[in-house]
Structure 1
Amino acid sequence: MAQQKLLALVVSIWACMWGLFPVEGTYYGHHIYNSHVIGHRMPSHAAPRPYGSMDNQLPPEPHAPEVSPRAPEVSGGTDMSGLPEVSGAPEMQQTVNVSRVYFGVMFDAGSTGTRVHIYKFIQKDPVALPVLDNEMYHAVKPGLSAYADKPDMGGDTIRQLLKVAKKTVPKSEWKQTPVILKATAGLRLLPEEKARALLDEVKEVFEESPFFVPNNSVSLMNGTNEGVLAWVTVNFLTGHLYAKTRKTVGILDLGGGSTQITFLPKSKKTVHTAPPSYIARFNLFNSTYELYTHSYLGNGLVAARLATLGALGADGLDWKVFTSSCLPKKFREDWTFGGLTYKVSGVPDGYAGYKLCYYEVMRVVKGVVHQPYEVKGSSIFYAFSYYYDRAVESGLIDGSRGGVVEVRDFKKKAKEVCNKMTKYRPISPFLCMDMTYITCLLKEGFGFKDSTVLQLAKKINNAETSWALGATFDHFNNFNIH
């Protein structure tokens, strides 16, 4: 009976891929079977809910009755009026007797785009654990940092995403559904006054909306929390948070402005040899974790391009041309990032290729990135964001399935791309630089061996690999990260 009751609570998380500004794609995932139960504390404006123990959060035993097949995914097009309604699929209504439904809206304001994740939770009865039923995801480009001098235009992108939330969350739930925005490296790289102006504009937009605006609803998230919460998301989706063995996977997240590494150390030497600020402790589902985690601001993929070109923080952008052997010889164009435009070029009368490019990007990595003792071992790491995107673009992995690669595979592909720049230029003139930087970051930066295996994934069990899910858990549960 206990197993049947637990099985009735089992769901899965659907999420989908990024869209483009102004509206390129909206994705919606309905309740699916075979997921994880979440211990969840309701916000102060809602009725209190009980905590769950680790024991009663374990997945069903192997001999539990087979669950129904997955429902088909529903994806929206460019017509906002065609967004699917939130009411559950017939299968969900037959499986779960919903007595309380509530939502959370999490905005991820990244350096290259702003994304909204709309999570739907179900509380079946006062003594049962809440369940994450589904997730709606939508994205716009460029990111908020592109509007550093025009914060009102940045606010308009948030209004657009709030329309998606209003289409997804039933009107009766608006007043008690929290809206939260956390900005990452794109705004951390801006002057403080410009970042503050953007965040203030977002707060005003939130206040105009019909949703619940909690205290500190708009904030600049520090890099440590970004890494920890991404680790929570990936280990939740892979089921490792429910195993009593505490066997977990590490994460490598490569954004546009910053990059994060986070893992649960197996060796005390890793902790003892790490800078004190690289160790984070937090409470999660009735357990305390001590992670190695660090975020390198300025070492995200796009910021690393600027550093490689010698353009990061440079003046004279109206007339200076920044060159690199990582770019095709005849390439020259204006390139915009963070609201600034740079003139970039290959070296017309010089040389180009992998060796020269590797030497250039080495200066961005060497001596900057700490090498944790343990990564030279056999730890399992999931790599996502630009690690995944560039691996797909270069043909290293299949975009629909992801894949398992070794660090040496990035090196081999980087050499191929750099030595055949003309072939790969239509994909991206920066592909040689990006693949070489990823190779250098993994090898010279973090110190991974050529044989280290990386699991490249954009989604896990149909859910987006992002810190947003972990941040939503943190909002409701208070992990007390320090």
Structure 2
Amino acid sequence: MSAQRVDNREMKEKNPWQTPVTIIITVIGVIAIVALVTVAVLQNRPLPQKYKYGIVLDAGSSHTALYIYEWPAEKDNNTGRVEQTHSCKVKGPGISSYAHDPLKAGESLRVCMQEAEQRVPGKRHQETPLYLGATAGMRLLNIENSSASDEVLKAVESALQKFPFSYQGARILSGQEEGAFGWVTVNYLDDRLTQGLDTTGALDLGGASTQISFVSEKFDGSESPSNSVTFRLYGNDYNLYTHSFLCYGKDQALRMTLAQQTQSGQASILDPCFNTGYTVMKNYSVLYDSPCVSDRKPQNAPATFNQTGKGNFTECQEVVKSVFNFTHCKYSQCSFNGVFQPLLQGPFGAFSAYYFVMNFLNLTDTSIPLKAVEDKLNSFCSTPWNQIKQQHPDVKVKYLAEYCFSGTYILTLLTEGYKFDQTSYSNIKFIKKIKGSDAGWTLGYMLNLTNMIPAEAPDSPPLPHAGYVSIVTIMAVLLFILFIVSLRPLWPRCSKQPQIV
């Protein structure tokens, strides 16, 4: 029995896990391993991305829209990578329509601005820039009554300053800016700027103006400097041809075609640009209250006139052509109205009213021959008005009635005005959105403005790189020492080995 106790005691002495030193070493080792893993995880975890925000209000001739953009706080080649996160269409007409009651122009923006408050994180409100850009509607109002346009802008400014954003101003954009920023939008969304690819031209059609912008290798700006804009984006320089035609948006163009048909001040007209069976009474004063046609108002005209549809595409196209001047050109080549335009080059993106009209008419496929496009328009225009209404019961009558004119006008503007032929026409792509962002000037405007917003430093890891390496090294050495020490019971016990005599 005593021999068994001696053996058990010897086994306990030989078992390293039973000694206090070994337990302490084991605990320290486990703590070191946990600490090492924790430091490694914290140091290498993905850093939360910081974002900045910007708000742009597009105050067009027919309506106003609000767009919210966000981009990483760390800029990419001095140009922020901007994406649209939200849009809000303001109820009611464009702000230029409130010339006689400017306060309502500001009030109309309230609902969309409240949406912006909810969409932009509260901690970013104070640093989020807020811009309003007014386009052709306000350009026309400024021509007609500059004091009224000033009052509208003041009312808008007063309303926007009540919100917790960094208000940067409300101003009227020039036609050149509108066209150029639309070009930036199309090419940015298509990743052509970041990759330095050949660019896409931009075709924008609004209610009161239309813009064409593209890069031409043969255009250096010398022949027509006013049509030249230079951008530097993502380390590349772009020399852009751009022109904006005021009064050639589809709404004002319709006024001009009606003015052409009512020059004699008659009491009724038979309009080929509206479907057969369509009839409406219009007011001469309302028709001619735009600067685009005000100087053409016939004398001694009655108060109203009846507009009756005839539904003839060919005759409609002749009426549309009458609002263009193709005879005068002092340059080597022109589009229309004596405006210089270099030869068309590359693909084009057509947006805004271009898209909405052609999409309704099922004419967004530009691979079909131009003759087939004309045939489709001819078929639509000749369809009786009652049948048109039955086929599209959900479309507002005002818009539905104008599609024959709008489609004819777009085709005429592109082919007769800008000189697209069958080959170049097939290079047009009608677009509404690209990668979730609306095509238009606002994103390009915001993208350009990010160059003036200082970039933030990215969030840094918890430890500097040198400190992280030092800690990992120390812990690794400590674990190695602990491992060696834990093998202590296995070390040769020279003192206990029997000596040979």
- Give the TM-score taking structure 1 as reference length: 0.69
Separation of aligned partners in 2, 1:463 and 1:300: 23
Q: 1:391 to 1:247 in 2, by over 3 A?
A: same
Which residue is 1:135 aligned to?
85
Does 1:374 find its partner at 2:340?
no
Which residue is 2:19 aligned to?
none
Which residue is 2:438 aligned to?
464
Q: CA deviation at 1:306?
A: 0.5
Q: CA deviation at 1:461?
A: 1.8
Separation of aligned partners in 2, 1:188 and 1:129: 29
For residue 197 of structure 1, the aligned residue among 151, 154, 161 is 151
Alignment deviations for residues 165-205 of structure 1 (CA, whole Å, 9 cap, x no partner): 11111222211111100000111111222222111111111
For residue 283 of structure 1, the aligned residue among 208, 218, 232 is 232
Q: 1:230 to 1:286 in 2, by over 3 A?
A: same
Q: 1:197 to 1:323 in 2, by over 3 A?
A: farther
- Identity among equivalent positions (%) equals 27
Alignment deviations for residues 228-254 of structure 1 (CA, whole Å, 9 cap, x no partner): 10110110111111233x411101111
Q: 1:254 to 1:407 in 2, by over 3 A?
A: farther
8 Å CA contact 1:329, 1:352 repeated in 2? yes
Separation of aligned partners in 2, 1:362 and 1:125: 47
Q: CA deviation at 1:283?
A: 2.4
8 Å CA contact 1:309, 1:323 repeated in 2? no
8 Å CA contact 1:257, 1:297 repeated in 2? yes
Which residue is 1:227 aligned to?
179
Q: 1:408 to 1:211 in 2, by over 3 A?
A: farther
Separation of aligned partners in 2, 1:471 and 1:129: 12
Which residue is 1:418 aligned to?
381
Which residue is 2:67 aligned to?
117
Q: 1:125 to 1:286 in 2, by over 3 A?
A: closer
Does 1:440 find its partner at 2:409?
no
Q: 1:129 to 1:231 in 2, by over 3 A?
A: closer
Separation of aligned partners in 2, 1:335 and 1:285: 52
Alignment deviations for residues 345-392 of structure 1 (CA, whole Å, 9 cap, x no partner): 4447xx5401211111101123345463412xx621111111111112
Separation of aligned partners in 2, 1:184 and 1:277: 18
* Letter matched to residue 420 of structure 1: T
Separation of aligned partners in 2, 1:323 and 1:311: 12
Q: 1:414 to 1:230 in 2, by over 3 A?
A: same
For residue 274 of structure 2, the aligned residue among 321, 327, 350 is 327
Q: CA deviation at 1:95?
A: 10
Separation of aligned partners in 2, 1:310 and 1:477: 45
Q: 1:129 to 1:241 in 2, by over 3 A?
A: closer
* Letter matched to residue 132 of structure 2: L
SS at match of 1:447: coil
Separation of aligned partners in 1, 2:409 and 2:118: 41
- Give aligned pairs, total: 371
Which residue is 1:303 aligned to?
252
Separation of aligned partners in 2, 1:380 and 1:181: 30
Q: CA deviation at 1:142?
A: 1.9
Which residue is 2:195 aligned to?
243
Q: CA deviation at 1:419?
A: 2.1
* Letter matched to residue 189 of structure 1: L
* Letter matched to residue 443 of structure 1: T
* Letter matched to residue 419 of structure 2: G
Which residue is 2:450 aligned to?
476
SS at match of 2:109: helix
Does 1:97 find its partner at 2:56?
no
Larger-gyration structure (1/2): 2
Separation of aligned partners in 2, 1:271 and 1:128: 26
Separation of aligned partners in 2, 1:415 and 1:442: 17
8 Å CA contact 1:117, 1:136 repeated in 2? yes
8 Å CA contact 2:269, 2:308 repeated in 1? no
Q: 1:108 to 1:309 in 2, by over 3 A?
A: same
Q: 1:129 to 1:463 in 2, by over 3 A?
A: closer
Which residue is 2:27 aligned to?
none
Q: 1:276 to 1:129 in 2, by over 3 A?
A: closer
Q: CA deviation at 1:478?
A: 5.7
Separation of aligned partners in 2, 1:176 and 1:114: 23
- Give the TM-score taking structure 2 as reference length: 0.66
Pairing 1:31-50 to 2, within 5 Å after superposition: none
SS at match of 2:198: coil
8 Å CA contact 2:273, 2:313 repeated in 1? yes
Q: 1:135 to 1:126 in 2, by over 3 A?
A: closer
Q: CA deviation at 1:344?
A: 6.7
Does 1:206 find its partner at 2:160?
yes
Tell me which protein shows more helix as a share of its residues: 2
For residue 180 of structure 1, the aligned residue among 123, 128, 131 is 131
For residue 429 of structure 1, the aligned residue among 390, 398, 401 is 401
Separation of aligned partners in 1, 2:173 and 2:430: 25
Separation of aligned partners in 2, 1:311 and 1:174: 51
Q: 1:126 to 1:434 in 2, by over 3 A?
A: closer
* Letter matched to residue 145 of structure 1: S
Q: 1:131 to 1:152 in 2, by over 3 A?
A: same
For residue 242 of structure 2, the aligned residue among 293, 316, 320 is 293
Higher relative contact order (CA 8 A, sep 6+): 2
Alignment deviations for residues 253-309 of structure 1 (CA, whole Å, 9 cap, x no partner): 1111100000010224x855x533112223223322111100000000111010110
SS at match of 1:240: coil
Q: Considering only aligned residues, what root-mean-square deviation do their CA atoms show, in Å?
A: 3.5
Q: CA deviation at 1:225?
A: 0.6
Q: CA deviation at 1:330?
A: 3.5
8 Å CA contact 1:371, 1:447 repeated in 2? no
Q: CA deviation at 1:393?
A: 1.3
Pairing 1:342-381 to 2, within 5 Å after superposition: 345-347=306-308, 351-367=310-326, 368-369=336-337, 370=339, 372-375=341-344, 379-381=346-348
Q: CA deviation at 1:418?
A: 1.8
Separation of aligned partners in 1, 2:361 and 2:164: 44
